[in-house]
């Protein structure tokens, strides 16, 4: 028996009116954005190095078998980054010289012959493979700003735990990618590095907060990447940029070395570092490395028979302040359900969890912190100071982004930590988690939109602010989730869905992702769109 009530409650009149007003504003805004930006942006060059199109595990195999050198792979990444970054502005700091030195050392180790290819695979499975990460995950010697102007001169003194584990297994970190201010918005823009542009259409956003990383992976600028996710920050950029992204089960991958630091154990349970890749087969080996000692909890090597899984799906949360799910995304999910039926005889069951209408409210309430948002991005913070800074922003004189200031302002309202509404939402979150655990068990997955629309125009999230609700609610529940690309929609932009499983059943998400990658083609090269 489901713990969460499934009967639909009527939407209050005030909320229906607010929803209608927001929809009208966003419709008018879309008209003007289309006039301003046009339908096409700057084209990026085609991929000329075939090695950039191959899975990380295949690149690693070729390096240790001397079919290609690590230096050659790294040089291909550098060329690609230089080719695309003027148009995309997703890569913000390089480590090329040190990376090339480490690549030469990897090649020397292989040429030395002291370890066989099999031994190298066991000890350093990613030897010589270049990767990137976002500018909020610490890399020793590189900036660690999280897009906050007050941190523009901060240099990381040591690697984050996830980066350290990857480097121990032979991977080579080559640089940092762009993020929104304090990593708390779903368009990547800050006043240190500027705005990042989508590789499929540069007039569109890349998502956030791992937006620069999603963009670089979509454009094939490094062999793989890692991002972090507290409300969809891996999965939305993966969705908008046509790649795979996995948010692990809570507590599996260490958050050590991230900024901002999670304020409470609850917030730490929402936050997770995970892989971002062009190929589904790379997700599991990377997750196995970055989860360290916790890898054993996930049983990643345990075989998964996709045909024996129970599959549930829901097309929309029907939330009043969230856009309707795009017909292309609905059609793609229907195709997945049909594929699983035809190929694996799975009779997927449609769900209608009406409580998911309250996803944004649950996340926003349970993310409340005793320290105000403005205190992280400004030297002094108060309502008056924030309002003055908004005025300065409008004339180009603020170090803060407009959405960062609005977020700081709104943080003075709503639920407060410890009040009755806060306790109510904690209970709602707890009950919903129990409902999903009951439904999914050890053999179930839930198919759900990653986002209701393909990548919107730059600044358009300002009039569609709650669209992140499809990913954020999964963070509240601590469940693993994988974004799977399913081709391009009618606008030539990537579409896809997320696959969700029970705690520590990440392997089910990854197995379904691999199956759908083979069936639907996965990542599509941007220049071919």
Residues designated as active site: 134, 209, 233
Q: Are 172 and 129 in contact (CB under 8 A)?
A: yes
SS3 at position 407: helix
Please name the helix (run of DSSP H) or strand (run of DSSP E) that holds residue 496, with its range, or none: strand 494-501
The DSSP letter of residue 323 is P
DSSP string, 477-529: HT--EEEEEEEE-TTS-EEEEEEEESTT-HHHHHHHHHHHHHHH-----GGG-
- Residue 105, SS3? helix
Give the full edge-to-edge strand order of the sheet including 244-247. Answer: 91-94, 172-177, 130-134, 224-229, 272-277, 244-247, 481-488, 494-501, 444-449, 310-313, 349-350
- Closest C-alpha to 277, from 244, 248, 246: 244
Which residues, 6 or more positions from 410, have their beta carbon under 8 angstroms from its beta carbon?
none
Q: For residues 147 and 130, give the distance between their C-alpha atoms in angstroms, rounded to a whole number.
A: 23
Vertex 169, ends 164 and 171: CA angle to 5°?
A: 80
- Quote the DSSP letter at residue 490: T
According to DSSP, residue 294 is labeled G
Contact 366, 266 (CB under 8 A): yes
């Amino acid at each position: 028996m489901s713990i969460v009530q499934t009967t639909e409650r009527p939407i209050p009149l005030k909320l229906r009116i607010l929803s209608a007003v927001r929809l009208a504003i966003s419709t008018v805004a879309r008209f003007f954005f289309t006039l301003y930006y046009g339908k096409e942006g700057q084209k990026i060059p085609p991929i000329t190095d075939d090695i950039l199109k191959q899975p990380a595990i295949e690149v690693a195999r070729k390096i240790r078998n001397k079919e290609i050198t690590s230096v050659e792979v790294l040089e291909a990444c550098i060329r690609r980054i230089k080719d695309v970054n003027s148009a995309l502005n997703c890569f913000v700091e390089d480590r090329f010289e040190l990376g090339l030195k480490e690549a030469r050392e990897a090649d020397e180790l292989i040429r030395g012959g002291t370890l066989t290819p099999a031994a190298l695979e066991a000890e350093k499975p990613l030897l010589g493979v270049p990767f990137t990460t976002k500018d909020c995950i610490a890399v020793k010697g590189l900036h660690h700003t999280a897009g906050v102007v007050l941190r523009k001169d901060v240099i990381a003194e040591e690697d984050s735990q996830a980066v350290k584990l990857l480097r121990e297994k032979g991977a080579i970190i080559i640089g940092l990618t762009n993020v929104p201010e304090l990593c708390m918005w779903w368009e990547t823009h800050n006043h240190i590095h500027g705005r990042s542009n989508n590789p499929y259409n540069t007039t569109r956003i890349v998502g956030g907060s791992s937006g620069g990383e999603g963009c670089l992976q979509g454009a094939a600028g490094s062999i793989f990447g890692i991002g972090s996710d507290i409300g969809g920050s891996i999965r939305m950029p993966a969705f908008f940029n046509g790649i795979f992204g996995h948010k692990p089960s809570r507590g599996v991958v260490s958050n050590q070395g991230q900024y901002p630091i999670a304020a409470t154990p609850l917030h730490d349970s929402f936050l997770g570092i995970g892989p971002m890749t062009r190929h589904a087969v790379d997700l599991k080996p990377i997750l196995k490395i970055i989860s360290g000692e916790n890898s054993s909890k996930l049983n990643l090597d345990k075989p998964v028979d996709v045909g024996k899984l129970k599959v549930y799906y829901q097309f929309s949360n029907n939330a009043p302040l969230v856009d309707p799910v795009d017909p292309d995304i609905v059609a793609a999910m229907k195709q997945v359900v049909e594929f699983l039926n035809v190929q694996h005889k799975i009779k997927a069951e449609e769900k209608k969890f009406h409580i998911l209408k309250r996803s944004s409210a649950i996340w926003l309430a349970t993310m409340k912190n005793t320290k105000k948002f403005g205190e992280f991005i400004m030297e002094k913070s108060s309502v008056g100071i924030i309002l003055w800074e908004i005025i300065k922003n409008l004339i180009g004189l603020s170090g803060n982004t407009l959405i960062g200031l609005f977020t700081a302002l709104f943080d003075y309202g709503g639920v407060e930590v410890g009040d009755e509404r806060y306790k109510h939402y904690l209970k709602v979150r707890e009950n919903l988690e129990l409902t999903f655990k009951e439904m999914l068990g050890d053999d179930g997955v839930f198919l759900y939109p990653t986002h209701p629309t393909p990548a919107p125009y730059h600044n358009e999230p300002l009039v569609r602010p709650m669209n992140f609700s499809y990913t954020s609610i999964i963070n509240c529940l601590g469940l693993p989730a994988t974004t799977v690309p399913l081709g391009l929609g009618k606008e030539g932009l990537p579409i896809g869905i997320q696959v969700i499983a029970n705690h520590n059943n990440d392997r089910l998400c990854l197995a379904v992702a691999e199956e759908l990658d083979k069936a639907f083609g996965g990542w599509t090269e941007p220049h071919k769109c």
